[in-house]
């Protein structure tokens, strides 16, 4: 089982992005997903910039995958998608079915992303037939449901599981960050730049609940499967996806590396650098915001 | 026919109300989690479905079956069984979201007409055409996220009929790509066929006001003069940077009556009314207004203007007594 660095879901300055991936070259991750998968208005790095970065990371020995935009709305979104597919140097992660169409037409093997909604082996088999060679289950998948899919998964299909980070839960046409600032989406003034880990949303009693990230809504809780490595191994999961955060990402990766190596204290080391409370309810077939330890408490 | 009126049938009484008031077609679900309104007391068993079909077909109308949740591996046969039943009952179409299930339908019931559900999250013609090429879908229901020019662009680039939501509950998120409900309660539309399920809702009268909770999470607190609505997760009031407001969306309904002339000119095949969970009286009233409006716009598109009584009637039925054009109208975003 190895580690993947998921696509950057937030909007950071160009310098911060470049510094982040400069550091990532040295992290023990086998695979790096690059590209803007959340909002087409974010433009500090455009596709050619991501491709240049991809070349650098590939030269540093990383398996590079380009992550496609999850919500396609306009013709210009499709143009970017076509350019990403046509470039051909790197594998693409398809995050909606338009990308699946383009990739299968191009005969390009691809990664089937977690927003394709693969909940059963039949759908996974459809994707395998179209060229998927790696897939991610929906982030709400439970261990039991994943086991049921993998029991009949197509031969050779590699499974990657979202194993760390705030959960990407929903996508909208509306930008909730712009809404918070009373700005129209078309003139959002790129306020996402002020929130490198999103904007916290709490209930009226001050309980952290969700995180606003432009058109994306994430959990407030930080999903972590660091305590579930034996189960993940047993299922035959090939990779764990770690979702970028603005601070201490190197230490997050290090904690997972240590845990995979069976070193003691990895989970505690991770807990010290998590930007919110741990959650793992989904994995146990429960509400996503729950955590195993609280239930036992 | 352009602008077919597709109305919700949560049960037989609603189905008849929709047909009697002018629906061209109704959509229904079976009584389990194979559809996205898997609420207790709602939906059809086989005998009721048969009676509904007879009632509609006798009057020259159609019945569509929503099978638009994502089949789970351990109960795959529940969904394929539903497809088989749809075919043998003579459903006019099934509305599907899952690619694996579409493949099953094509293989076993090639004559069965397939519609792509809004839960399939197809927002571009590339995605719509994918389902056309691989599974021969005849119609796609677009998520409530595109502006009208973006909808037009989809219509221009596909042979697939396009159906749009016209009225009712407003999903703010891309349908099929929203897990907020399962994050809070363990059940999402994708996997369980419910959003903000009633069994997880608790109302409590407290000194600081009436509180609505979903699986213990406070969604809203209402002052004495405030009207409390159903606690749909995305329509609660939350705190962001010290401000308390409807951070995602106000409790409001979608109402696109104003856009009918543009939808007609664009070649939109059908308008869908949301609300299988609503009462037969609601279905009857909404259907009646929309029938009149669609007839009027077809007669004279350029001179079409929604009448005040129509809007008043619809507003009365709307969540929060207010309505929005949603994403069809760019400034909403």
Summarize pLDDT for B315-331 with one digit per residue, the tens.
Answer: 888 876 678 888 888 77
Beta strands in chain B (DSSP E): 4-8, 25-28, 62-67, 93-96, 114-116, 139-141, 161-169, 173-178, 201-206, 209-214, 217-222, 238-240, 243-245, 253-255, 270-273, 323-324
Instruction: Tell me which residue in A71, A145, A199 faces B123 most closely, judged by beta carbons.
Output: A71
Q: Using a CB–CB cutoff of 8 Å, tell me whether B122 touches chain A.
A: yes
**Whether the Cβ atoms of residue B235 and residue B221 lie closer than 8 Å to each other:** no
Model pLDDT, residue B328: 83
- pLDDT digits 0-9 by tens, B104-140: 999 999 999 999 999 999 999 999 999 999 999 999 9
Q: Using a CB–CB cutoff of 8 Å, tell me whether B202 touches chain A.
A: no
Q: Based on the domain organization, do B192 and B158 belong to the same domain?
A: no
Q: Based on the domain organization, do B261 and B202 belong to the same domain?
A: no
**Tokens encoding A124:** 């996974």
How many independent structural domains does chain B possess?
2
- Cα gap A70→A115, rounded to integer Å: 7
Closest CA–CA distance from residue B101 to any residue of chain A (Å): 8
Point out which residues pair with A64 in neighbouring strands.
Answer: A32
Position B99 confidence tier, pLDDT thresholds 50, 70, 90: very high
Mean pLDDT of B11-30: 98
Point out which residues pair with B227 in neighbouring strands.
Answer: none
Instruction: Confirm whether B97 is domain-assigned.
Output: yes
Instruction: Tell me which residue in A71, A123, A124 faces B174 most closely, judged by beta carbons.
Output: A71
**Whether the Cβ atoms of residue A142 and residue B190 lie closer than 8 Å to each other:** no
Contact list in B for residue A125 (CB cut-off 8 A) is 100
Q: Based on the domain organization, do B136 and B235 belong to the same domain?
A: no
**Tokens encoding A179:** 């809404």
Give the 3-state secondary structure of residue B152.
helix
- Cα gap B102→B224, rounded to integer Å: 50
Q: Based on the domain organization, do B262 and B228 belong to the same domain?
A: no
- Cα gap B81→B84, rounded to integer Å: 5
Contact list in A for residue B145 (CB cut-off 8 A) is 71, 73, 172-173
Q: Which of B195, B227, B245 is the last residue of a domain?
A: B245
For chain B, percent of residues with pLDDT exceeding 70 = 99
Q: Based on the domain organization, do B115 and B37 belong to the same domain?
A: yes
B269 Cβ neighbours under 8 A, 6+ residues apart? B1, B2, B3, B4, B139, B161, B162, B163
**Domain of B96?**
4-170+252-328
Instruction: Confirm whether B190 is domain-assigned.
Output: yes
Position B169 confidence tier, pLDDT thresholds 50, 70, 90: confident
Instruction: Confirm whether B59 is domain-assigned.
Output: yes
Interface size between A and B, measured as CB pairs under 8 A? 221
Residue of chain B whose Cα is closest to the Cα of A125? B100
Cβ contact B123–A72 (<8 Å)? yes
Model pLDDT, residue B326: 84
Q: What is the CATH number of the domain that holds B274?
A: 3.20.20.70
Question: Which positions of chain A have pLDDT values less than 70?
Answer: 294-297
Contact list in B for residue A124 (CB cut-off 8 A) is 100
Q: Based on the domain organization, do B129 and B75 belong to the same domain?
A: yes
- Nearest CA to A161 among A219, A239, A255, A98? A239
Q: Which of B209, B227, B245 is the last residue of a domain?
A: B245
Q: Based on the domain organization, do B111 and B231 belong to the same domain?
A: no
Model pLDDT, residue B1: 63
DSSP H or E run through A23:
helix A14-24
Q: With 0.90 as the threshold, say if the pTM is over it.
A: yes
Instruction: Confirm whether B175 is domain-assigned.
Output: no
What values do phi and psi take at B325, rounded to 5? -85, -5
């Amino acid at each position: 089982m190895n580690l993947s660095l998921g696509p950057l879901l937030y909007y950071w300055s160009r310098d911060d992005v470049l510094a982040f991936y400069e550091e990532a070259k040295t992290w023990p991750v086998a695979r790096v997903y690059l590209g803007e998968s959340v909002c087409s208005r974010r433009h500090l790095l455009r596709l050619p910039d991501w491709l240049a970065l991809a070349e650098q990371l590939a030269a540093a020995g990383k398996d590079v995958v380009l992550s496609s935009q999850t919500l396609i709305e306009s013709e210009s979104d499709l143009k970017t998608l076509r350019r990403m597919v046509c470039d051909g140097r790197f594998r693409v992660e398809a995050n909606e079915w338009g990308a699946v169409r383009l990739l299968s037409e191009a005969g390009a093997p691809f990664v089937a992303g977690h927003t394709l909604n693969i909940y059963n082996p039949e759908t996974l088999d459809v994707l395998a037939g179209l060229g998927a060679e790696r897939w991610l289950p929906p982030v709400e998948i439970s261990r039991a449901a994943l086991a049921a899919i993998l029991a009949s998964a197509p031969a050779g299909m590699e499974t990657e599981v979202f194993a760390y980070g705030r959960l990407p839960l929903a996508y909208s046409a509306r930008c909730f960050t712009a809404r918070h600032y009373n700005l129209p989406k078309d003139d959002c003034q790129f306020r996402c730049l002020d929130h490198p880990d999103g904007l916290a949303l709490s209930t009226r009693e001050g309980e952290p609940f969700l995180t606003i990230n432009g058109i994306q809504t994430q959990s407030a809780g930080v999903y972590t499967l660091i305590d579930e490595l034996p189960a993940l191994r047993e299922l035959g999961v090939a990779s764990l996806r770690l979702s970028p955060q603005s601070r201490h990402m190197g230490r997050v990766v290090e904690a997972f590396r240590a845990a995979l190596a069976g070193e003691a204290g990895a989970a505690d080391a991770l807990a010290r650098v998590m930007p919110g409370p741990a959650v793992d309810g989904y994995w146990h077939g429960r509400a996503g915001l729950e955590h195993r330890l609280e239930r036992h408490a | 026919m352009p602008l077919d009126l597709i109305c919700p049938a949560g049960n037989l009484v609603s189905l008849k109300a929709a047909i009697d008031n002018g629906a061209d077609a109704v959509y229904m679900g079976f009584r389990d989690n194979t559809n996205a309104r898997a609420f207790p007391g709602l939906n059809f068993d086989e005998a009721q479905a048969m009676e509904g079909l007879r009632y509609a077909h006798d009057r020259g109308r159609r019945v569509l079956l929503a099978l638009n949740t994502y089949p789970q591996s351990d109960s795959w046969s529940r969904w394929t069984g539903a497809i088989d039943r749809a075919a043998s009952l003579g459903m006019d179409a099934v509305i599907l979201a899952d690619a694996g299930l579409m493949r099953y339908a094509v293989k076993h019931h090639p004559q069965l007409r397939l519609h792509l559900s809004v839960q399939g999250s197809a927002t571009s013609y590339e995605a719509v055409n994918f389902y056309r090429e691989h599974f021969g879908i005849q119609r796609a229901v677009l998520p409530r996220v595109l502006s009208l020019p973006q909808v037009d662009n989809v219509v221009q680039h596909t042979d697939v009929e396009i159906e749009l939501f016209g009225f009712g509950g407003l999903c703010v998120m891309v349908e099929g790509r929203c897990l907020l409900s399962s994050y809070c309660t363990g059940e999402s539309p994708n996997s369980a066929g419910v959003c903000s399920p009633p069994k997880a809702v608790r109302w409590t009268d407290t000194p600081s006001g009436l509180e609505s909770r979903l699986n213990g999470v406070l969604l809203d607190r209402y002052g004495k003069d405030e009207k409390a609505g159903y606690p749909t997760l995305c329509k609660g009031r939350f705190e962001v940077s010290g401000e308390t407001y409807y951070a995602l969306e106000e409790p409001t309904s979608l109402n696109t009556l104003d856009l009918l002339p543009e939808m007609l000119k664009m070649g939109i095949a059908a308008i869908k009314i949301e609300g299988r969970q609503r009462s037969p009286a609601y279905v009857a009233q909404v259907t009646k207004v929309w029938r009149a409006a669609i007839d009027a716009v077809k007669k004279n598109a350029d001179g079409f203007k929604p009448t005040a009584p129509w809007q008043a009637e619809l507003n009365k039925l709307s969540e929060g007594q207010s309505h929005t054009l949603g994403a069809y109208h760019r400034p909403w975003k």
